[in-house]
Amino acid sequence: MATWARFRSAAPELAEAGRGLIYARGDGEALLATVRRDDPPRIHPINVGVVEGGLYAFLLDSPKRRDLIEDGRYALHTHQDPAAPSEFMIRGMASLVNAPATRAAVAADWPFGVDESYDLFAFDIASAVLGVRPTANDWPPVYTRWTDDAGDA
Residues 6+ apart with CB under 8 A from 95: 72, 121, 122, 124
> What secondary structure letter does DSSP report for 3?
-
0.85 exceeded by the pTM?
A: yes
Query: Where are the chain's structural domains?
Result: 4-147
Q: What would the pLDDT profile of 93-148 be if each residue is shown by its tens digit?
A: 999 999 999 999 999 989 999 999 999 999 999 999 999 999 999 999 999 999 99
The hierarchical CATH code for the domain 4-147 is: 2.30.110.10
Q: What would the pLDDT profile of 35-90 be if each residue is shown by its tens digit?
A: 988 888 999 999 999 999 999 999 999 999 999 999 999 999 999 999 999 999 99
